[in-house]
Amino acid sequence: MDIILFGPPGAGKGTQAKILEDKYGLKQLSTGDMLRAQIAAGTDLGLKAKSVMDAGELVSDEIVIGMIKATINTAEAQKGAIFDGFPRTEAQAIALDNMLESCDRSLAVVIEMQVADEELVERIVKRAEIEGRSDDNVEAFKNRLAAYRSYSAEVLPYYKAKNLHQLVDGARGVDDVTINLCQILDDLS
C-alpha cells in the first residue's frame, strides 16, 4: 500500500510516518530527510540543496524525483511507501504516478494533516530547541509555511480530482492522530 502524508511543516508527518512504518510494514520516504542526509555527508547534491533549503524554498524537481526513483523499489519499500514531503509540485506528482505504475503499484490515499498556523509556529519553536535544524528558525519557517500554502494549492487539486484526498485533524495529540490514520488505512486494506 502506497500513501502520501501531506501537510505543513510541523504537522507531524515524520512522527506519524514512523509509527505507520512499524504497524503496516511500509517504508517512509522523506525527501527532506534524504536531503539532510546528503548535506550531512557533504555531497555535491547536499551542497547545492543546502542554501535553497535554508531559505525555505523548493529544491529542483529533478533532484527530488531522482531521490525517490532510487528508493521507491528497494526491498524495504516493496510492501509500499509512505511519501513524506513529496510530491510538492504537480510535476513531482505526475512523476510519482509514473514511477509507481512502472512497478505495478498505485497510490491508495493522500492524507492531508491539517494544523493551524499558530499551532505550527509553537511546535517548530520547540523542535528547533530539540533538533537544531538550520531551517527551523522563525524567518525560514515562515517561508516554508508560505511555500506550503502555495504548493498545496498546486498539488492537492491533482489528488482531489482523482478522489484520493482525505483530511485529518493534525492539531490533536499524537495518539489521536494515529488512531485516525489507522482507521483510514484499515478501511483501505
Residues near ligand ADP (CB under 6 A) are: 9, 31-32, 35, 52-53, 56-59, 64, 85-88, 92, 144
Identity of the residue, 59 or 109, whose beta carbon is nearer to ligand ADP in the bound complex: 59
Give 10 or 80: the residue with its C-beta nearer to ligand ADP.
10
Minimal distance in Å, beta carbon 182 to ligand ADP?
A: 22
How far the first Cα of the chain sits from its last, in Å, is 8
State the minimum distance, in angstroms, from the CB of residue 187 to ligand ADP: 26
Answer yes or no: are the C-beta atoms of 6 and 152 closer than 8 Å: yes
Residue 108 or residue 128: which is nearer to ligand ADP going by CB? 128
Residue 139: CB minimum distance to ligand ADP, A: 13
Nearest to ligand ADP of 139, 186 (CB atom): 139
**Please, what is the minimum distance in Å from the beta carbon of residue 118 to ligand ADP?**
16
To ligand ADP, the closest distance from the beta carbon of 102 in angstroms equals: 19
Distance CA 150, CA 88 (A): 10
Residues 6+ apart with CB under 8 A from 186: none
What's the CA angle centered on 90, arms 42 and 41, to 5 degrees?
5
The CB-nearest residue to ligand ADP is: 32
SS (H, E, C) 41-81: CCCHHHHHHHHHHHCCCCCCHHHHHHHHHHHCCCHHHCCCE
